[in-house]
Amino acid sequence: EYLETTASKAKAIVPLFDKMINIAKEKNKRHAEMKLNKILFSKLATEKVLNILSKRLDDSDGGYLNLYKTGLRKGDNAPMIKMIVKGYVYKEIGAKKTSKKSKKKETPVAEAKKYDVSEIKDMSQSQNQNMEKGAQGKAKSRSGI
């Protein structure tokens, strides 16, 4: 009872749908059924229009479709329209996921250690000594030779 199509096709479908519902509202149901069979080519679709849609839309005289713009189609950027028959309750298929905000415990961040300038100088001297020792010995390779 709803259809998503391009804007140009929707403009063509609206008058045809209104005409079908008006035919289904005729008093002579047998004659209406014959006319609808020529348009729809399906017995099930004809029965649905006659029994369900014509009764639901009996109080109004026209404008049986609600048109909603849904955006642009990927690929060719064509404007898309969702057509919904009046009185139909649209339900999205599938459960919508709700984002739950997880409550994270805030752990106190330890303050960064403050180094004295003298300690930094001592570290750099020890690194230089290690490099000198490495230069004197054999260089290690992955193979261990």
> What pTM value is reported for the model?
0.59
Q: When comparing pLDDT for 91 and 137, which is higher?
A: 91
At 6, the pLDDT band (50, 70, 90 cuts) reads: very high
Q: Which of 88, 20, 31, 30 is nearest to 56 (CA)?
A: 88
- Is the residue at 112 inside a domain? no
Query: How far, in whole angstroms, is CA 74 from its chain's centroid?
Result: 13
- Is the residue at 22 inside a domain? yes
- Is the residue at 72 inside a domain? yes
Q: What CATH number does residue 73 fall under?
A: 3.90.1030.10
- Is the residue at 52 inside a domain? yes
Mean pLDDT value across residues 86-90: 81
**How many domains in the chain?**
1
- Is the residue at 97 inside a domain? no
Residue type at 144?
Answer: G
Supply the range of the domain harboring residue 11: 2-85
121 has pLDDT over 70: no
- Is the residue at 95 inside a domain? no
Share of the chain above pLDDT 70, in %: 63
- Is the residue at 10 inside a domain? yes
- Using CA atoms, how far residue 141 sits from 46, 134, 135, in Å, is 85, 13, 14
Q: Which residue's entry shows tokens 């008058």?
A: 15
Mean pLDDT value across residues 88-111: 66
Partners of residue 84 on adjacent β-strands = 2, 66
* pLDDT one-digit tens code per residue, 26-81: 999 999 999 999 999 999 999 999 999 999 999 988 899 999 999 999 999 999 99
The percent helix, strand, coil of the chain (3-state, each to 5) is: 45, 15, 40
Phi/psi at 84 (5° precision)? -125, 130
- Which residues are CB-contacts of 56 (< 8 A; sequence separation ≥ 6)? 85, 86, 87
